[in-house]
Chains A and B, each alone.
Chain A
């Protein structure tokens, strides 16, 4: 068994409360590392791609990584991997918290859960021993209330990941939450809810050994030092909310369900304005030295907010009242809802109302009251929530009128805050993403914000850049290390290899890691192929091909251009 690993995973059947400890081959660990990579490999091994995502037999995987538990900054992360109930394709979502450290301390590199408990339950993994207890007293509780309730029962030394009412109600974009952070995208909370598991509590005492502890400590110190510098200043000083004004200035801020790339109330939602008008505090994830979390004071307590939430619940829905948007973000956190899919689905419904395709006259762009009402109805699957809880793609099917053309999704996953006509390398990244439209698996927007390409006229030369960002993301999501560190590396693959060598003792090289990243991306595609993926899924909604952005005539993306980019992407991938 290599250093940094326990060399096994726990395979837990929550129907019976039984556990099997399954050995992990060294070759598998080296080929897939951990996190997203290991989770996808285990998912493939389970042979479950054909199952419905909410079938009790469909596994839900929590995958840790060799770096978890080390002193390397931002390494306390875990990946949740399953088939997505929103897309019917692969889903891997990551979160940072002490849950990763406590989970790995149970003596395993991953936890694979299947089955269905007979009643709402908490799965307890206590130093590798497993039991399932009733959590009926937590049914209907928010994520935070569930955590509090179970801590009082189990003790404070457990780390507890929970779902909120949205996960219990099968909302297909429900999250899994720990410590206020969420494995957010793709509906892993609904998968957990389908297993009648309201929470997972972990604690343990089992530590892994490091191959070269002194080298690892030196790398840790150096990395931490660099994480205090200019490369992370944006995250540390302003947080991702500072994107709001930048994207608006470039006409790339999705507004009113992607009808525009500029929002005249963007200033209200900017980090600069939020910081000037209310008290702000900062927090860090466990082991993180960046401290990107900016919490803003509201009447309902401090609210942690990111650009993606501000865009999805703000400009995308035409809501410029910061108090409302912060409350909406907080409400999503309480209910356990992915803010991007929530905002995207509501914005889509708002446009359908505007066009007369949906009879819900109260749901209008710009109405904060409507936004908050819609969020509650989605979380409870009541009223209009019955339609919207399955996401914009499913809602479009029910609404008709070819509304799928304006549903802001790829493969069923609602789009993040990057206007693809204004950021065309990112348009490719969004189209080909294995889990759907996503900014965490493709960092191609970085290329658009550089002198490498013309952001409003992608060419075939853009493709290699998009592939490079996708591969880097796959590597960081498998090691796992936070993407907000990406700017500090002078030699990305070389430094990643040094980190992994110090932890595992493997003689891993930068070239090996390049191959590993491509392997992990290919494994996600393999799952999708087994789940029924077809080539026509790698595209964008029709809306983006119809016309240029109203605020920028140069921002025009033709279907032919995107098709050519996708074809070149596949050619370079060798697919």
Chain B
């Protein structure tokens, strides 16, 4: 358990369009919720910013936690060492 003054360091993986816009495949970011994570990404990565509306992803993108479950609520807590995947929502084709 982290001390209350610390924020989790999570790993973000970009897939597809989000990778193209971010210009990188992965990055480590400090954030404790999905919303905070997205705010941080929007501030750091202008190319990705247009696909982030305040603290939510544009509907064309989706976020997944550790390859297990998809998450969309900005208040979703994210823990230390979690991996957040950001990918196109319409995954097929």
Q: Which residues of A contact B (CB under 8 A)?
A: 230-231, 233-235, 237-238, 240, 242-243, 245-247, 249-251, 271-272, 306-308, 418, 439, 443, 445-446, 449-451, 454, 484, 486-487, 554
In the complex, chain A residues whose CB is within 8 Å of the CB of B50:
230
B28 within 8 A of A: no
- Rounded to whole angstroms, the CA-CA distance of A272 and B21 in the bound complex is 12
CB-CB under 8 A from B88, the residues of chain A are 234, 242, 246
Contacts A230-B50, A230-B58, A231-B60: A449 and B67 contacting too (C-beta < 8 A)?
Answer: no
Residue numbers in B under 8 Å from A554 (CB-CB):
68
The answer to whether B91 and A251 have CB atoms under 8 Å apart is no
Q: Measured between alpha carbons, how far is A449 from B71 in the docked complex, in Å?
A: 10
A487 touches B93 (CB 8 A): no
Set of chain B residues within 8 Å of A245, measured between Cβ atoms: 15-16
16 interchain pairs (CB within 8 A)?
A230-B17, A230-B58, A231-B90, A234-B17, A235-B93, A238-B20, A240-B92, A243-B16, A246-B15, A249-B87, A272-B19, A308-B93, A449-B62, A449-B91, A451-B70, A486-B90
A279 → B minimal CB distance (Å): 18
With beta carbons under 8 angstroms apart, the residue of B58, B60, B71, B87 that contacts A246 is B87
- Interface residue ranges, B against A (CB under 8 Å): 13, 15-17, 19-20, 50-51, 58-62, 64, 67-72, 85, 87-93
Query: How far is B92's CA from A307's CA once the two chains are assembled, in angstroms?
Result: 9
Known contacts: A231-B60, A249-B67. The answer to whether A446 contacts B17 by CB under 8 A is no
B70 touches A250 (CB 8 A): no
B20 touches A237 (CB 8 A): yes
Inter-chain pairs besides A454-B69, A487-B60, 9 sampled, C-beta below 8 Å: A235-B93, A238-B20, A251-B67, A271-B16, A308-B93, A418-B92, A484-B93, A487-B59, A554-B68
Closest to A444 in B: B92
Bound complex: CA of A454 vs CA of B69, how far in Å? 7
Q: Are A451 and B15 in contact (CB under 8 A)?
A: no
Minimal Cβ-Cβ distance residue in B for A488? B60
Contact B19 A445 (CB under 8 A): no
| Cα(A19)–Cα(B62), bound, Å | 52
Q: How far is the CA of A418 from the CA of B88 in the complex (A)?
A: 16
Minimal Cβ-Cβ distance residue in B for A490 = B59
The answer to whether B89 touches A450 (Cβ under 8 A) is yes
From A230, A234, A272, residue with most partner B Cβ within 10 Å: A234
Q: CA separation between A443 and B19, bound complex, in Å?
A: 24
Other-chain residue from B19, B51, B64 in contact with A230 (beta carbon distance below 8 A) = B51
Instruction: Give A350 Cβ to nearest chain B Cβ, in Å.
Output: 25
Do the beta carbons of B60 and A446 come within 8 Å of each other?
Answer: no
Bound state CA distance, A145 and B17, in angstroms? 36
- List of A residues within 8 angstroms of B93 by Cβ: 234-235, 240, 243, 306-308, 484
> Which of B16, B58, B68, B92 lies at the interface centre, i.e. has the most chain A CB atoms within 10 A of its CB?
B92
A443 touches B17 (CB 8 A): no
Q: CB-CB < 8 A to A251: which residues of B? A: 67
Q: Which of B16, B67, B85, B92 contacts A238 (CB 8 A)?
A: B16
Docked complex Cα distance between A271 and B64 (Å) = 21
Are B69 and A446 in contact, with the CB atoms below 8 A?
no
Select the residue from B59, B64, B71, B91 with max chain A CB neighbours within 10 A: B91
A484 to B87, CA, bound (A): 16
Q: How far is the CB of A537 from chain B (nearest CB, A)?
A: 23
Closest partner residue, chain A, to B85 (CB atom):
A249
User: Given the complex, which residues of A lie within 8 Å of B60, measured CB to CB?
Assistant: 230-231, 233-234, 487
Q: Specify which chain A residues have a CB less than 8 angstroms from the CB of B61 in the assembled complex.
A: 230
List residues of chain B with CB within 8 A of the CB of A247.
91
B-chain residues with CB within 8 Å of residue A230 when the two chains form the complex: 17, 50-51, 58, 60-61
Residues of A within 8 A of B91 (CB): 243, 246-247, 445-446, 449
Separation of A512 and B92 alpha carbons in the complex (Å): 28
Q: Which residues of A contact B92 (CB under 8 A)?
A: 240, 243, 418, 439, 443, 445-446, 449
State the Cβ distance, A208 to closest chain B Cβ, in Å. Answer: 31
Of all chain B residues, the one with the shortest Cβ separation from A452 is B70
A546 shortest CB reach to chain B, Å: 23
- Alpha-carbon separation in the docked complex, A418 to B16 (Å): 17
Interface centre among B20, B50, B51, B58 (most CB of A within 10 A): B20
- Count chain B CB atoms within 10 A of each CB in A230, A247, A446, A554 and give the residue with the most: A230
The answer to whether A249 touches B15, judged by C-beta atoms less than 8 angstroms apart, is: yes
Given the known A-B contacts A445-B92, A487-B59, are A451 and B67 also in contact in the complex, defined by CB atoms under 8 Å? no
Counting chain A CB atoms within 10 Å of each CB, the highest count among B16, B71, B85 belongs to: B16
**A446 vs B87: C-alpha distance in the bound complex, in angstroms?**
12
Counting chain A CB atoms within 10 Å of each CB, which of B15, B62, B67 scores highest?
B15
Closest 3 A-B residue pairs measured CB to CB? A240-B93, A451-B70, A449-B91
